[in-house]
Amino acid sequence: MIRHTLHSGVCLTVTLAAMAAPVLAEPLTVSNWDGYMAADAIDTFNAATGNEAELVLHATNEEIMGKLIASKGAGYDVVFVSSPFAEVLHNLGLAEELDHDKIPNIANLYTEATELPHDPGNVFSLPYAWGTTGLCYRSDLVAEPTSWYDLLEPTETVSGKTTMLATDRWLLAAGQLALGYSVNETDPDKMAEVRDLLIKAKGTLLAYDDTTFYAKLVSGEAELVQAWDGWCNYGIGENADITYMIPTEGSDLWVDTMVILKASEHKDAAYAFVNYILDAENHRWAAENILYKVPNKAAMDGVDPALIETYPNMGMAPADMLKFEQLRDVGAAQRDYSRLVSEIKAN
């Protein structure tokens, strides 16, 4: 997933009182998507713990994965990646096996968030944000959609005004879900059906778009788009007629995680950092800034109710989200996925 900066310049009110006294200053390199933390998160962490954390940005999971695989994880201490990529880091032996004694704030997580299929028991990853992928639309311009087919086989009036996500896994997921298949389906015959459906859908699309789809909704250029729930919220913030819904065939459950690298030379500071993020106040502040749900019960309980009224998908219960399947690492089949996407885009 790629993220976007928003809500800069919001006043800072994080409680630092609860933070323990600094042990010793350690430099720490954290890689995250742009705008996916509160703008002040690093500074307040440094002020509270006496560490010298530095934030570097990656635009996509794939970008940071390329760097981590090339360097065997060296040069980074904590990275934010989506769960299938956390699995890869674990499979490659690059992810630290987490010592829960050093992360007391893990107790703040929802029970569901500690039993996620990609990493039951949080052995190597800590969930940071989670949500669903569905349809984001202009309720003043189109009838309420119900199915993925409303996107893939749009009516004549909506045709040419839809966008789909450009990232391989989510692009394919729209077709997989519509056909009733798993979002991790790799069977060649079933995937050929998915491909054919998506090739047909391509003819009706305005564009594939991962980054500006909500702006297209706001301008009216697009009326119905495939979107991550949190990102639909950026559109809702600009136009109250924009609405998010999950099609009847379902969604995926996406989880963005924090992973400590085994190669990290600053493990204490890395643990301090993830523990700091999982603090109820800090994680709440993150949710209110990025408008994504966080898997932290203590934090979500504190989120301003007015915010949930404006952005209803932020109020979705974990049990409801857990009905959906997570995208999982598919190993060697990823190459087949890439090829399918090339086929779809070449048609």
Residues forming contacts to another protein in the complex (CB under 8 A) are: 60, 62-63, 65-66, 69-70, 88, 91-92, 160-161, 163, 166-168, 202, 205-209, 219-221, 331-332, 334-335, 338-339, 342-343, 345-346
> Is 254 or 276 the residue whose CB approaches another protein more closely?
254
> Is 268 or 329 the residue whose CB approaches another protein more closely?
329
Beta carbon of residue 337, minimum distance to another protein (angstroms, whole number): 9
Between CA 239 and CA 244 the distance in angstroms is 12
Instruction: Let me know: does 215 contact 232? Beta carbons within 8 Å.
Output: no
> Is 8 or 342 the residue whose CB approaches another protein more closely?
342
Beta carbon of residue 212, minimum distance to another protein (angstroms, whole number): 9
> Is 42 or 79 the residue whose CB approaches another protein more closely?
79
Structure tokens at 148: 């993925």
Beta carbon of residue 214, minimum distance to another protein (angstroms, whole number): 15
Between CA 45 and CA 246 the distance in angstroms is 36
Site of tokens 């944000």: 129
Burial zone of 199 (CB within 10 Å; 0-12 exposed, 13-18 middle, 19+ buried):
middle
Q: Write out the H or E segment, with its range, that includes residue 236.
A: helix 229-238
Structure tokens at 347: 């048609």
> Is 242 or 245 the residue whose CB approaches another protein more closely?
242
Beta carbon of residue 60, minimum distance to another protein (angstroms, whole number): 7
> Is 17 or 346 the residue whose CB approaches another protein more closely?
346
Beta carbon of residue 252, minimum distance to another protein (angstroms, whole number): 18
> Is 325 or 329 the residue whose CB approaches another protein more closely?
329
What would the 3-class secondary structure string for 15-65 be?
CCCCCCCCCCCCEEEEEECCCCCCCCHHHHHHHHHCCEEEEEECCCHHHHH
Instruction: Let me know: does 14 contact 280? Beta carbons within 8 Å.
Output: no
* 340 CB-near residues (< 8 Å, 6+ apart): 172, 191, 194, 195
Beta carbon of residue 206, minimum distance to another protein (angstroms, whole number): 6
Beta carbon of residue 136, minimum distance to another protein (angstroms, whole number): 17
The DSSP code sequence of 262-298 is TT-S-HHHHHHHHHHHTSHHHHHHHHHHH--B-SBHH
